[in-house]
């Protein structure tokens, strides 16, 4: 559970994630979470707009510290994506801090009556004391689908990716859809083929800005590749021994590609 914003207690000590405009303070020389007191942070960043508990890491409490002032040392601020290199535990804490900060920033006022909102004390939720409207952080589920045919893997390059970089297919879940229905629909829409035998692999929080990636491996059923205009630049069946540039292993898509390669190589 994430706590209320608390009155600044200068001796409060733990690990801190400082968030400013969806980025985290992480200088190049920093090799782990910043262990400090609240007073030490206040000397560097001033008092926070919001602060609270995130959990624990290596037996110490972890807190978030949200500021939205002008940043002078831009090179010391990193996206949560950059912190993938420091391990899954740190990335998940960073993802949570960024998503909490976004929730606090975008729920200052009630979307129903326009009154000021406040955080409730027992859960992460914003409550309007005037009309009773309650909001929780938005989570946007997204499906990743690795489609396999014989010893080949279907990879695509979206219009947003550089030439030569390919990944598995992905798309957001729509209202009233199951994850499996979304996977079948997205593959059909993006490349025009039918899939079957979906196997759930795992999930990963993805704070860009508030997604939850869920992964499936599926078997090709029928159809020929037909790329969706304005969405998929190109898509091909790749031999698992001759893959192009793909996402790193720290990402769920990268792990899924590695799992497919491992399974088909046996």
Give the angle subtended at the CA of 204 by the CAs of 198 and 206, to the nearest 5°: 120
Regarding whether 232 and 150 lie in a shared domain, the answer is: yes
Q: What is the CATH number of the domain that holds 219?
A: 3.90.79.10
DSSP characters for 129-150? TTT--EE----EEEEEEEEEET
Q: For the chain, which ranges sit under pLDDT 70?
A: 1-9, 70, 72
- Per the structure, the count of domains in the chain is 2
The whole-number pLDDT of residue 9 equals 65
Q: Are 49 and 100 in contact (CB under 8 A)?
A: no
The whole-number pLDDT of residue 4 equals 41
Provide the whole-model pTM: 0.86
Regarding whether 98 and 161 lie in a shared domain, the answer is: no
Host domain of residue 196: 140-265
The whole-number pLDDT of residue 1 equals 31
In a domain, 217, yes or no: yes
Q: How much of the chain, in percent, has pLDDT values that exceed 90?
A: 67
Regarding whether 246 and 163 lie in a shared domain, the answer is: yes
Write out pLDDT tens, residues 156-201.
999 888 899 999 999 999 999 999 999 999 999 999 999 999 999 9
In a domain, 102, yes or no: yes
d(CA 165, CA 178): 29
Q: What is the CATH number of the domain that holds 46?
A: 3.90.79.20
Coil, strand, or helix at residue 265? helix
**44: which residues sit within 8 A by CB, 6+ positions away?**
none
Regarding whether 243 and 183 lie in a shared domain, the answer is: yes
Among the candidates 57, 86, 106, a domain finishes at 106
Among the candidates 89, 106, 123, a domain finishes at 106
Regarding whether 151 and 68 lie in a shared domain, the answer is: no
Spatial CA neighbour of 206 closest among 94, 89, 53: 94
The mean predicted confidence, pLDDT, of the chain is 91
The whole-number pLDDT of residue 5 equals 45
Among the candidates 106, 124, 150, a domain finishes at 106
In a domain, 157, yes or no: yes
In a domain, 160, yes or no: yes
In a domain, 123, yes or no: no
Long-range pairs of 114-123 with CB within 8 A, sequence gap ≥ 24: 119/4, 119/5, 119/50, 120/4, 121/3, 121/4, 122/1, 123/1, 123/2
Residue pointed to by tokens 């209320």: 4
């Amino acid at each position: 559970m994430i706590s209320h914003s608390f009155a600044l207690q200068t001796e409060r000590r733990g690990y801190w994630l400082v968030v400013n405009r969806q980025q985290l303070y992480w200088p190049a020389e920093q090799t782990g979470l910043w262990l400090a007191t609240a007073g030490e942070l206040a000397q560097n960043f001033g008092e926070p707009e919001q602060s609270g508990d995130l959990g624990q890491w290596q037996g110490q409490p972890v807190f978030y510290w949200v500021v939205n002032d002008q940043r002078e040392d831009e090179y010391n601020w990193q996206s949560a994506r950059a912190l993938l290199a420091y391990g899954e535990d740190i990335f998940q804490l960073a993802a949570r801090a960024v998503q909490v900060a976004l929730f606090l920033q975008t729920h200052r006022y009630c979307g129903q009556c326009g009154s000021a909102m406040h955080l409730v004390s027992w859960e992460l939720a914003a409550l309007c004391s005037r009309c009773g409207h309650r909001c929780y952080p938005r989570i946007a589920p997204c499906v990743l689908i690795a489609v396999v045919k014989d010893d080949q893997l279907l990879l695509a390059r979206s219009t947003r990716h550089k030439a030569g970089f390919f990944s598995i297919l992905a798309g957001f879940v729509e209202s009233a859809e199951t994850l499996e229905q979304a996977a079948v629909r997205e593959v059909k829409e993006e490349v025009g083929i039918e899939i079957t035998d979906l196997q759930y692999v795992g999930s990963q929080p993805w704070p860009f800005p508030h997604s939850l990636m869920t992964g499936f491996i599926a078997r090709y059923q029928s159809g020929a590749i037909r790329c969706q205009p304005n969405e998929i630049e190109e898509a091909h069946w790749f031999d698992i021994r001759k893959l192009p540039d793909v996402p790193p292993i720290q990402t769920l898509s990268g792990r899924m590609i590695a799992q497919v390669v491992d399974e088909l190589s046996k």
